[in-house]
Amino acid sequence: MSTLFNSDSKESGFRLQYLEIYNWGTFHNKIYRLNTNGNTSLLTGANGSGKTTLIDALLTLLVPAGKRFYNQSSGTEQRKDRGEESYFWGYYGKTFSEDSLQSKTEQLRHKENNPYSVLLAYFYNAATMHQITLAQVRWYSGELKRQYIVSPHKLNINDHFGNGKFDMKGDWKKKLRVEFPKTEITDSFKEYAALFSNIFGLRSEKALSLFNQTVGIKVLGDLNTFIRSQMLEETDAEAEFLKLRENYDSLLSSHRAIQKDETQLKMLEPIIDNKTAWQELQDRNRELQMLQDILPTWFNRQEKDILERELEALQKEQQVTASTLTGINEALQSLNLRKDELIAQKANNSVDEQLRSIEKSIHYEQRALEAKRNKMEEYNMLADRLELAPNPDEQQFHENIAGAEQLKVAHDKQLETLQEELFHHKSSLTAERAQATRLEEEINSFLNRKNNIPYELIRIRQQLADMLDIHEDDLPFAGELIKVKDAESHWENAIEKVLHNFGLRLLVPEEYIMDINRYINSNNLQTRLVYHKIEEESYTMLRMPNEKDSLLQKIDIKPGTVFKEWLQNQLLDQFDYTCTDDMAVFNRSRKAVTSNGLTRQATRHEKDDRPNRSQQNNYVLGWNNKNKLRLLKEEQDECNGNIDTLQHSIAQLENNRKAITTINTLLNAFLSLRNYAEISWQSHAGVIESFAREKAQLLKTSDKYQVICDQLDDITAQLQNKEKEKERTLQEKGRLDDKAAEKLRHFNQLKVNKLDDISLQYVLEYLTDLSLTEPAETTQELAAYRKRADDNMNATLHDAMRQSAEKEAEITRQLSAFVMPPKAIHDTYPEWLGDVSDLQPHVKYLEEFTSLYENIKFQRLIEHKERFRKYMDTSMLNAITNYRAWIYGQEDLIREVMEDLNEPLRNITFNKNPDTYLQLECRHVRDVEIRNFKEKLSNAVPDSYKYHMEKDEAYGDQLFENIKVLINDLQQNEAWRRKVTDVRNWLDFGAKEFYIADNKAFKYYEDTASLSGGEKAQFTYTILGAAIAYQFGINEANRQHRSLRFITVDEAFSKLDPEKSHYLMEYCGQLNLQLLVVTPLDKLNIAEPYIHACHFVSNKNKRDSVVYNFTMEEYRDRKKEFESMAVMS
């Protein structure tokens, strides 16, 4: 059998030198010591003598209470009758009382005696010359008290804890610390175990469990369970999960903010939609109410127009009646004069007088006829030029007058329009001529320079340069030193708008500022000038942005200018805009501009679409004005063309005005002849003819008197007819006057306000919808129109108000649901109520809800998504990736442990003839839960290229859902979590047996069920020894020299044949372990070749145990004595 550790010294490691106990179990009121002296020794004695009590003292010193079990030789892992308290009080048996009929536990120590107990073990490492004493002190003070001591000094009970050394107050601890520096005293076993485990180089707490297990070596059953629980470390998977969950909780909080935003948007969107619909209904209601208010005005206007036309018609009828009445009165006057003459003539019977009178009347009538005929000729001439009927009768005369009046109104309107057009054309001509003059000056100015600065500013700079006697280039405008890069022409318009005012600032070196201030203060510049004093100092140059979307990356500064640093500082400080047409980027940027010219500075937004800001000929940036000069010449050509066009149009309008003025002069003359009697010469012709007949009759007849009488009767009859005609005419006049007066009264009562074009358009559209497009001709027809319109308006308005009220009620319900959300939403988003604390579920707060909606949609949600993505990128994905790496790293560590365990096993001959060795191996379990966990974990870890390079948003969302599923599953099922995250459960473990000669495997072990008793023990020793070597660090270079080299085995050979018992002893020798073997006397011969000392335990009177220490020579000499002592006890 080969040596296991060639580099390992027989003296390496900590070995037990002695164990001391005081008041422990049946070892009462005296200090007892086992002197092992660092060698393998034997503990023997009769059954019940106290051997196990000593072994349990070692377990108490080295193994935590939860992992140790006493009295292992009894064959059970837990004996309720053995424990620290039973050992402390010295329980040794039970008695039965016949009086009380109850059993009583007998004990050696009692409370009234204030007992205390001490356990002490001293270990020494000869290779490194280090030493350590472990001690435990127990006493009773209302309850069992304990103190644990780890000291780098050699201590013993008598000198350091004996009578006079221990006190209940605890002064002994102070003295011990003072006397023995670096001695640690604690009341925590965990802290105590950590101290000595570090000194012993123990890998973990499992080393102490293995020490406990070796005491009562049991045959291994399931190898899987043993390797997982005893050989492999239980990693702190819970802590790793908690770190992962902390990151997830932060991510979930960020995601919950997104979900809350999206939930609020989902609830706000129908509100916003309904707000639009409700506002449309409100607008419709207002339109209808406005229509309802203006319809009476419109109808009144229409009625007034109709009444006005009817009054005009009545006026014409009144004029005709008045003219008729005038003619009747003239005829009556003439007839009455004739009648009077005839009566006089009849009385005088003077024919000559009558003839003279007739001739006089004929002469008078002839003169009147000639005058009216001349008027008729004048009238006919005007009528002919105005294309009206000549030689009219009375009806045609009045129709001509009405036609002329209509022509006059139309021509007056034409003349008014022409006058207005002439005014605007002349005003435009004046402006174009002024613009042409300005352009001429501007072009002449640009021909003499290369910049794009307006002429009025160049003029001021010329004055300043002349005053200072310097070149104009010494006073540059900012715009002369900046230009938009040729490759960024798409952004030129937007950048010109942003930098326009800055480009017009004059840059004044410090040496000229005082003279310029004095000049500008004393003179009227006729324009606005902004100028900067450029001080002679070194400007701190801030880092110019490198982002391609920065405005500052799209412009150049004129090479060689001395103002470069000042310009860069000003531009970086004021104009570091982000140029973007992506509204999401625009909304989250502090300063941004779109190519359409919309700008943002923090909360201030602006868009200037005034024409002079968008035209290229108003650009001011750049140090080359060729393009601007070309645009100005094009503008000049356009301006000159406009002047020619306007001059031609003005001449045409003047001709039209003269023509209309001429026609209006004719119309005025024509309308001055408004009385038909003024041109009606025919009546005079009839009178002349009548007088002529009378004259002829007088000249022919012989009975002149009778003729006069007949003429008088005829005149009288004519007078009667005329009087009747007059009466009828007066009645008609009265009727017309009454009718006109009634219509005029009604006309004056109608209230008509002026309607603007928009209101008029609303009315016409409404009436068109009602098919009331034909104008009413009479007031009765208009009244029917009015009733139909009013009835429809009332019905429509009532329906619109009902719809508006219903929509308002629906919005109010939605607002209430948003302000007071369901319990499920409130429980999910507790901060919801804080968001709506200033909102009320009423339509008057709709604008606040709209502002909240826009804030969420265009700012808050974007920020939350960016924060979520940033946290996902920087924290969560790192955390899940690290978690996966950690958990898979545990599997790698397990495989490394298996390699470490296999290293010593390769050098141990397990079976002989042929010689073999064992190797542990592991393979993945076929467990559905573990496989599902691995799949969920893999799904939660991102594909870096797809996530970071492609930036697939859908993939990112799916990745979050995968993480969410994983975390929720781990969080909700603790048992499942502990199983799947304990990587030891991922693997099944077994052992293969190989031939040493050719390293070929020939046998596989999963458990020991098929082995014989001896084979099971041998297999158990081999695996347990490998575990001890690993946990104690015996095979590690950095632990080997300081590792613990002590174990104890109780009832070691009770069920083993000699061969397997020898295997155990030799195996421990190969591991260079100090062994304390506990065995009855009848098995001592098996261990005798391997041990250096013997410890014999006996019990007197079934209550007091003692222990004796012998060398092997002393034992052999007194063997029979011991055997007899064992029989007696």
Tokens of 814: 């939605």
Q: What is the pLDDT of residues 566-593, one digit of tens each?
A: 988 888 888 889 999 998 888 888 889 9
**Total number of residues shown for the chain:** 1129
Q: What angle do CA 74, 79, 82 make, to 5 degrees?
A: 105
* The predicted structure's pLDDT at residue 861: 87
**Quick check: 2 pLDDT over 50?**
no
Give the residue-averaged pLDDT of 468-488. 89
The answer as to whether 1128 is a domain residue is yes
Give the residue-averaged pLDDT of 381-394. 82
**Distance of alpha carbon 534 from alpha carbon 544, whole angstroms:** 21
Distance of CA 269 to the CA centre of its chain: 16
**Distance of alpha carbon 620 from alpha carbon 739, whole angstroms:** 74
Last residue of a domain, one of 546, 581, 603: 603
**Distance of alpha carbon 624 from alpha carbon 452, whole angstroms:** 7
**Distance of alpha carbon 1073 from alpha carbon 200, whole angstroms:** 14
Tokens of 974: 């603790």
Q: List helix spans (H) across 1033-1083.
A: 1037-1040, 1058-1070
* The predicted structure's pLDDT at residue 157: 95
* The predicted structure's pLDDT at residue 1117: 81
The answer as to whether 105 is a domain residue is yes
**Distance of alpha carbon 705 from alpha carbon 562, whole angstroms:** 132
Last residue of a domain, one of 603, 636, 651: 603
Q: What angle do CA 538, 544, 546 make, to 5 degrees?
A: 160
**Quick check: 961 pLDDT over 80?**
yes
Strand partners, 484: 555
Q: Measure the N-to-C terminal CA separation of the chain; round to a whole number of Å.
A: 41
Tokens of 515: 């003279």
**Distance of alpha carbon 1054 from alpha carbon 1064, whole angstroms:** 13
Q: Check which CATH number belongs to the domain holding 92 and give it.
A: 3.40.50
Tokens of 693: 């007949």
* The predicted structure's pLDDT at residue 4: 38
Give the residue-averaged pLDDT of 407-414. 85
**Distance of alpha carbon 63 from alpha carbon 210, whole angstroms:** 9
Give the residue-averaged pLDDT of 1107-1126. 78
Q: What is the pLDDT of residues 905-944, one digit of tens each?
A: 887 888 888 989 999 999 999 999 999 999 999 988 887 6
Q: How confident is the model at residue 220 (pLDDT cuts 50, 70, 90)?
A: low
Q: How confident is the model at residue 178 (pLDDT cuts 50, 70, 90)?
A: very high
Query: Is the C-alpha dihedral spanning 781, 783, 787, 793 positive or negative?
Result: positive
Q: How confident is the model at residue 509 (pLDDT cuts 50, 70, 90)?
A: very high
Give the residue-averaged pLDDT of 607-635. 75
CA-nearest of 592, 567, 570 to 581 is 592
Cα distances from 554 to residues 602, 626, 629, in angstroms, run 22, 21, 23
* The predicted structure's pLDDT at residue 716: 85
Give the residue-averaged pLDDT of 1016-1024. 79
Distance of CA 982 to the CA centre of its chain: 39
Mean pLDDT of the chain: 84
**Quick check: 881 pLDDT over 60?**
yes
The answer as to whether 529 is a domain residue is yes
Cα distances from 99 to residues 103, 104, 105, 366, in angstroms, run 11, 12, 16, 182
Q: What is the largest CA-CA distance in the chain?
A: 222
**Distance of alpha carbon 43 from alpha carbon 1079, whole angstroms:** 7
In the chain, % of residues over pLDDT 90: 23
* The predicted structure's pLDDT at residue 175: 92
Q: What is the pLDDT of residues 629-674, one digit of tens each?
A: 777 788 888 889 999 998 999 899 889 888 888 888 888 888 777 7
* The predicted structure's pLDDT at residue 182: 94
Q: What is the pLDDT of residues 30-69, one digit of tens each?
A: 999 999 999 999 998 888 888 889 999 999 999 998 888 7
Last residue of a domain, one of 581, 603, 625: 603
Residue 1062 belongs to domain spanning: 1-219+1049-1129
CA-nearest of 632, 646, 612, 643 to 439 is 632
**Distance of alpha carbon 880 from alpha carbon 244, whole angstroms:** 7
**Distance of alpha carbon 494 from alpha carbon 619, whole angstroms:** 11
Which is more confidently placed, 490 or 1035?
490
Q: Give me the half-sphere count of Cα atoms (radius 13 Å) on the Cβ side of residue 800.
A: 18
CA-nearest of 243, 214, 245, 216 to 230 is 214
Lowest mean pLDDT among 798-812, 912-926, 942-956: 942-956
CA-nearest of 205, 5, 227 to 1035 is 5
Q: Give me the half-sphere count of Cα atoms (radius 13 Å) on the Cβ side of residue 999.
A: 3
* The predicted structure's pLDDT at residue 78: 47
Give the residue-averaged pLDDT of 506-512. 92
Q: What is the pLDDT of residues 88-142, one digit of tens each?
A: 999 888 777 666 667 788 889 998 888 999 999 999 999 889 999 999 999 998 8
Give the residue-averaged pLDDT of 732-745. 87
The answer as to whether 163 is a domain residue is yes
**Distance of alpha carbon 26 from alpha carbon 107, whole angstroms:** 9
Q: What angle do CA 84, 89, 92 make, to 5 degrees?
A: 100
Beta-carbon contacts of 699 under 8 Å, excluding residues fewer than 6 positions away, are 355
* The predicted structure's pLDDT at residue 952: 66
**Distance of alpha carbon 256 from alpha carbon 828, whole angstroms:** 9
The answer as to whether 810 is a domain residue is no
Total domains in the fold of the chain: 2
CA-nearest of 636, 567, 620, 629 to 458 is 620
Lowest mean pLDDT among 132-136, 237-241, 558-562, 953-957: 953-957
* The predicted structure's pLDDT at residue 348: 64
The answer as to whether 178 is a domain residue is yes
Cβ proximity of 1073 and 39 under 8 Å: no
The answer as to whether 970 is a domain residue is no
The answer as to whether 339 is a domain residue is no
Cβ proximity of 718 and 335 under 8 Å: yes
Tokens of 835: 């968001």
Q: How confident is the model at residue 3 (pLDDT cuts 50, 70, 90)?
A: very low
Beta-carbon contacts of 509 under 8 Å, excluding residues fewer than 6 positions away, are 474, 534, 536
**Quick check: 444 pLDDT over 90?**
no
* The predicted structure's pLDDT at residue 477: 93
* The predicted structure's pLDDT at residue 612: 65
Lowest mean pLDDT among 28-37, 337-346, 489-498, 898-907: 337-346
